[in-house]
A and B are shown apart, each in its own frame.
Chain A
């Protein structure tokens, strides 16, 4: 009884204290229970907490890595696309320059060839005209000759008698004779 009472009483001793100080009563200040509680808390809490934080860290790492990969991929694609763009641009430039010169050349060629063709056609035309003229002239000549001959033949048939005939023949013989002499 006395012991119990004493153990109760000892709590009361520090109560009316008038100033700041430290209470060294181990049972009253309860450090044993507190340390047990703290120890259990740390022991169990540490595992849970570190698990939780590890998971979170892993998640963050994964996210960072993923986004980094995505970024790299995107940069790569961008570079590829830029290279292709550059290539296409130079090609287009080349094509443009080439095409222009080609077109110029083609034009000149075409113009030249057309000129020559034109000239040829002109020549043909001229020749044809010339030939045609020639032919017509010949025809006209032949007709005139024929008509003259027929006229002459008619005249001869109508008004030729023996005497005239003989005269004409002799005149012609003379003419031929002089022509022969001249030639000699």
Chain B
């Protein structure tokens, strides 16, 4: 009897744990909006990491690059390569956008996988990668949407909308639908992957705290990098698609 009670108690506790782990947020009220403070905090940390490292490296530029400068130039070259292959000739103005997307998502994902966020305790919820929250990824995806609309409209003017009836007007509904599915798929892909990664790690840690989660963490690192790359590549591809010439 005692054992059963105990186990019921334990299950209740376990239920509490699992109920708490997902979907608990630490809310701040800012001007009538409820914001997820844990996401803001981790975003600020990520932004700070990016800004500080960039400023530190950029402060003292050399003709023959030092280690840090060399690394950052390599990253820039990589981003430029990605945008060039996806956008084509006029990739120049879009490198900052693509680079911001890639770096923010990449550092967010890796910070979620590498930094011991859980050491810091919040009143509610817990700190994790900013991309772990659907709001962040939706924001990024909507920015991508705006970017490709802007790219197309500024390149072709109103003629941009003629792509909706190409190759035939029958495809008009599908083409319009695409504008909704693009940000949807972008945001959900990123959100789902990162959340799944972190959940798998958390669940494994709660089951077997040592050694076993390590391969999964590496897998998480790998997936995180890939997801950042995919997001940046797709954003560039959408921008390039809306800018490409008439056939």
Separation of A37 and B115 alpha carbons in the complex (Å): 11
- Which residues of chain B have C-beta atoms less than 8 A from A43's C-beta? none
Beyond A8-B13, A8-B14, A9-B13, is A14–B121 a contact (Cβ under 8 Å)?
yes
Residue of A nearest to B117 (CB): A29
> Using a Cβ–Cβ cut-off of 8 Å, how many residues does chain B contribute to the interface with A?
38
- Which residues of chain B have C-beta atoms less than 8 A from A30's C-beta? 116, 118, 201, 205, 209, 213
The B-contacting residues of A in range 15-43, CB under 8 angstroms, are 15, 17-23, 27-34, 36-38, 40-41
Asked whether B210 lies within 8 Å of A11 as measured between CB atoms, the reply is: no
Asked whether A41 lies within 8 Å of B221 as measured between CB atoms, the reply is: yes
| Inter-chain contact total with CB atoms closer than 8 Å | 98
Q: In the assembled complex, how far is the CB of residue A169 from the closest CB belonging to chain B, in whole angstroms? A: 141
B28 within 8 A of A: no
- Which residues of chain B have C-beta atoms less than 8 A from A20's C-beta? 120-123
Residue in B7, B20, B122, B213 whose beta carbon sits within 8 Å of that of A33 in the complex: B213
In the complex, identify which listed stretch (A52-60, A88-96, A172-180) lies at the interface while the others stay far away. Answer: A52-60
Per-residue CB proximity of B204-216 to A under 8 Å, as 1/0? Answer: 0110011101100
Asked whether B123 lies within 8 Å of A29 as measured between CB atoms, the reply is: no
Q: A residues engaging B (CB < 8 A)?
A: 1-2, 5, 8-9, 11-12, 14-15, 17-23, 27-34, 36-38, 40-41, 49, 52-53, 56-57, 60-61, 64
- Which residues of chain A have C-beta atoms less than 8 A from B214's C-beta? 33, 36-37
The A-contacting residues of B in range 100-133, CB under 8 angstroms, are 113-116, 118-123
- Which residues of chain B have C-beta atoms less than 8 A from A36's C-beta? 214
Residue in B14, B63, B70, B119 whose beta carbon sits within 8 Å of that of A22 in the complex: B119
- Which residues of chain A have C-beta atoms less than 8 A from B116's C-beta? 29-31, 34
Residue of B nearest to A4 (CB): B10
Asked whether A15 lies within 8 Å of B17 as measured between CB atoms, the reply is: yes
- Which residues of chain A have C-beta atoms less than 8 A from B73's C-beta? 56
Residue in A31, A33, A57, A61 whose beta carbon sits within 8 Å of that of B119 in the complex: A31
Asked whether A57 lies within 8 Å of B213 as measured between CB atoms, the reply is: no
Beyond A17-B121, A53-B70, is A37–B63 a contact (Cβ under 8 Å)?
no
- Complex A-B, nearest 9 residue pairs according to Cβ-Cβ distance, in ascending order: A27-B209, A21-B121, A29-B118, A53-B70, A23-B121, A5-B10, A37-B217, A29-B119, A12-B13
B67 within 8 A of A: yes
**Interface-centre pick from A5, A15, A31, A32 (highest chain B CB count, 10 A):** A15
- Which residues of chain B have C-beta atoms less than 8 A from A18's C-beta? 123
Q: In the assembled complex, how far is the CB of residue A39 from the closest CB belonging to chain B, in whole angstroms? A: 11
- Which residues of chain A have C-beta atoms less than 8 A from B20's C-beta? 15
**Interface-centre pick from A11, A19, A49 (highest chain B CB count, 10 A):** A11
- Which residues of chain A have C-beta atoms less than 8 A from B123's C-beta? 17-20
Asked whether B70 lies within 8 Å of A57 as measured between CB atoms, the reply is: yes
Separation of A37 and B222 alpha carbons in the complex (Å): 12
- Which residues of chain B have C-beta atoms less than 8 A from A23's C-beta? 118-121
Residue in A9, A11, A28, A56 whose beta carbon sits within 8 Å of that of B70 in the complex: A56
Residue of B nearest to A40 (CB): B218
20 contacts between A and B (CB under 8 A): A8-B17, A11-B17, A12-B16, A14-B121, A15-B16, A22-B119, A31-B116, A31-B119, A32-B209, A32-B210, A33-B209, A33-B213, A36-B214, A37-B214, A38-B114, A41-B114, A53-B74, A56-B73, A60-B64, A64-B63
- Which residues of chain A have C-beta atoms less than 8 A from B6's C-beta? 2, 5
Q: In the assembled complex, how far is the CB of residue B224 from the closest CB belonging to chain A, in whole angstroms? A: 12
B161 within 8 A of A: no
Residue of A nearest to B6 (CB): A5
